[in-house]
């Protein structure tokens, strides 16, 4: 599995570099800012999920790379904009200065904007068929838009500005579902789409993404409240400093741990139908999805 | 022609309202900010060009409405982000407070981000076929991205920060071509795409868009230097106050007027092949393109 994952990550890095080699007409200061954020050291979790989902459903890796890179571009743009002074005002990301600290605020806003356009351009111009391209654009735009990632971030900001939600548990779940979960679910659904998966397989993978996304966010909240800044590479304790709702604030640390474990279990259960395949690639991709979910529970170490 | 244009504008307003009726999950403060900017009184020039181009090539209006609304969404998002304090820092737009003045800076950044996603989502989910959807997403994303609109804005900002280009004429032409021209050209090319136009028709309309976009920007610069703020509905004299390059600064007012007239002439010449059609709709759409170009020269009044 390690060599499979290493190969996959290399394929993703190579494709990200290729799809972000900017055409004539792109100013160098903009290209630099875009590539600084997109190509920064990262786990490449979302593109990895797209490709693994595609291969699990019998699709080809090369066919999945455009959608996989697009989801990472959306992720990178969202980090740039979330870090802006008017938003979370962060100066450190993945152990490096954030985009606006390094390139200025105007360039950072524009780099985010251009990365979003590049995501949809990459899918539209490189997908294996127009039908897959249109499907993936719809899936990703839905997930990235006002009822998905951006909607979650908008409500998150509202809370920072002093809004007190009447039902904290439900409010937080809805923020997590949109702000983090929607893009992770879309990563998996695009993988299914690229592979021409049937409705049943697609629903399985979306459900895995739903539970995986929740486990991811709960473990992120646990990390924020008890992780080590140097190891994690970003500023921590922000939730408690800013008096913001988080899973650990609302539910306590012990319940957060057990909720994360339950979400991981539900994610793995969602893809039961893919268990024990005869095909070697399908077997390893199934194992990757299981181990990626289980790995979330180790994030605190 | 007046009743044709009135009908067309009504169809565009209705479709914009429909495509921006946000789904559950979109926070109201975000939806309000998006609709405030998108549905503000405007000329709807870009969507109008998309539909007219489609009808000129024998396409159906309803088929062109998703792409037409998408180009207006991209335009609206770009205005929101351009007006931000870190960019042009404008407080007045179309005679109203700008989005960040009314809804706060974080909401304005997010409303712009969500409008961009909505543009691609609208095309992907509503186009007459996946092939047209994928083609229009590619055209619009190219035009909106780092080598188009965002690239032009990035170089424009660079100049505001004190950069002095070695060749002012070429620099300015390249900024105009990307910042304004690319989206106008895309509006026309998407119209051709929706109608299944042949390569020759498509090139004609792109060339019209190229010249139209230049004439538009030159007349905008003329307006900035000699218009009336109350009539125009935005802050003027910005170029001269900020010591920024503009067509009038580089070429003087008289040459700017004659350059605009030449660009209009070239735009009209580009669509010669569509002149004198037998079909009534094609005749009126051809006349609209001619009169829209000529109308640019009247903008100073």
Question: What pLDDT is recorded for position B264?
Answer: 98
Token pair belonging to B71: 């180009």
Reported as a single tens digit per residue, the pLDDT across A247-292 is: 998 999 999 999 999 999 999 999 999 998 889 999 999 999 999 9
* CATH value at residue B226: 1.10.600.10
Region A35-64 average pLDDT: 97
Q: Which of B165, B166, B76 is nearest to B117 (CA)?
A: B76
Residue B89, in any domain of the structure: yes
Percentage of residues in chain B with pLDDT exceeding 70?
94
User: Kind of pairing, strands B92-93 and B96-97?
Assistant: antiparallel
Decide if A90 contacts A30 (C-beta within 8 A).
no
User: Kind of pairing, strands B92-93 and A96-97?
Assistant: unpaired
Least confident of A52-56, A92-96, A171-175, B136-140: A92-96
Contact A138 B121 (CB under 8 A): yes
Reported as a single tens digit per residue, the pLDDT across A97-150 is: 999 999 999 999 999 999 999 999 999 999 999 999 999 999 999 999 999 999
From the list B24, B121, B127, the residue facing A141 with the nearest CB is B121
Task: Quote the CA–CA distance of A159 and B201 in Å, as a whole number.
Answer: 52
Question: What pLDDT is recorded for position B12?
Answer: 98
Give the helix/strand (H/E) hosting B119. Answer: helix B105-126
Token pair belonging to A148: 């998905």
pLDDT confidence tier of residue A153, bands split at 50, 70 and 90 = very high
**What domain range is B252 assigned to?**
2-296
A22 touches chain B (CB under 8 A): yes
Chain B residue with the nearest C-alpha to that of A88: B106
Residue A142: count of CB within 10 angstroms of its CB? 24
Question: What pLDDT is recorded for position A195?
Answer: 98
**For residue B301, pLDDT beyond 50:** no
A163 Cα to chain B: minimum distance (Å): 12
Q: Which of residues 268-287 of B touch A (CB under 8 A)?
A: none
Give the helix/strand (H/E) hosting A243. Answer: none
Percentage of residues in chain B with pLDDT exceeding 90?
81
Contact A144 B117 (CB under 8 A): yes
B26 Cα to chain A: minimum distance (Å): 4
Q: Is the dihedral of CA A131, A136, A137, A141 positive or negative?
A: positive
Question: What pLDDT is recorded for position A301?
Answer: 43
From the list B87, B146, B174, the residue facing A31 with the nearest CB is B146
Number of Cβ pairs < 8 A linking chain A and chain B: 186
Reported as a single tens digit per residue, the pLDDT across B262-281 is: 999 999 999 999 998 889 99
Residue B301, in any domain of the structure: no
Token pair belonging to B159: 């100049």
3-state secondary structure of A213: helix
Full-model pTM:
0.95
Contact A81 B34 (CB under 8 A): no
Residue B274, in any domain of the structure: yes
**Tally of domains in chain B:** 1
Token pair belonging to A133: 């391209």
For the question of an ipTM over 0.85, the answer is yes
Q: Where are the beta strands (DSSP E) in chain B?
A: 92-93, 96-97
Task: Quote the CA–CA distance of B34 and B22 in Å, as a whole number.
Answer: 10
At a CB cut-off of 8 Å and minimum separation 6, what does B268 contact? B208, B289, B290, B293, B294
Contact B144 A117 (CB under 8 A): yes
Chain A residue with the nearest C-alpha to that of B177: A25
Question: What pLDDT is recorded for position B32?
Answer: 97
């Amino acid at each position: 599995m390690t060599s499979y994952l290493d190969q996959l990550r290399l394929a993703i890095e190579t494709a990200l570099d290729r799809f972000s080699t900017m055409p004539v007409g792109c100013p160098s200061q903009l290209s630099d800012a875009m590539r600084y954020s997109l190509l920064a050291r990262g786990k490449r979790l979302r593109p990895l999920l797209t490709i693994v989902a595609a291969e699990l459903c019998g699709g080809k890796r090369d066919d999945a790379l455009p959608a996989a890179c697009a989801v990472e571009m959306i992720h990178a743009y969202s980090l740039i904009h979330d870090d802006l002074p008017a938003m979370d005002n962060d100066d450190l990301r993945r152990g490096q200065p954030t985009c606006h600290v390094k390139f200025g605020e105007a360039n950072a806003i524009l780099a985010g904007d251009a990365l979003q356009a590049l995501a949809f351009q990459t899918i539209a111009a490189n997908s294996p068929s127009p039908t897959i391209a249109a499907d993936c654009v719809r899936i990703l735009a839905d997930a990235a838009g006002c009822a998905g990632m951006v909607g979650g971030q908008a409500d998150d900001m509202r809370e920072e500005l002093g809004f007190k939600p009447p039902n904290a548990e439900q409010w937080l779940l809805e923020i997590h579902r949109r702000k983090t979960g929607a893009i992770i679910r879309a990563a998996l659904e695009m993988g299914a789409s690229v592979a021409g998966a049937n409705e049943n397989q697609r629903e399985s993978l979306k459900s895995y993404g739903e539970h995986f996304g929740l486990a991811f966010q709960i473990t992120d909240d646990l990390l924020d409240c008890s992780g080590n800044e140097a190891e994690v590479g970003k500023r921590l304790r922000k939730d408690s400093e800013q008096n913001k709702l988080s899973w650990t604030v609302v539910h306590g640390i012990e319940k957060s741990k057990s909720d994360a474990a339950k979400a991981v279990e539900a994610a793995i259960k969602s893809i039961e139908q893919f268990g024990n395949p005869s095909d070697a690639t399908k077997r390893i991709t199934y194992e990757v999805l299981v181990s990626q979910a289980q790995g979330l529970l180790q994030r605190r170490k």
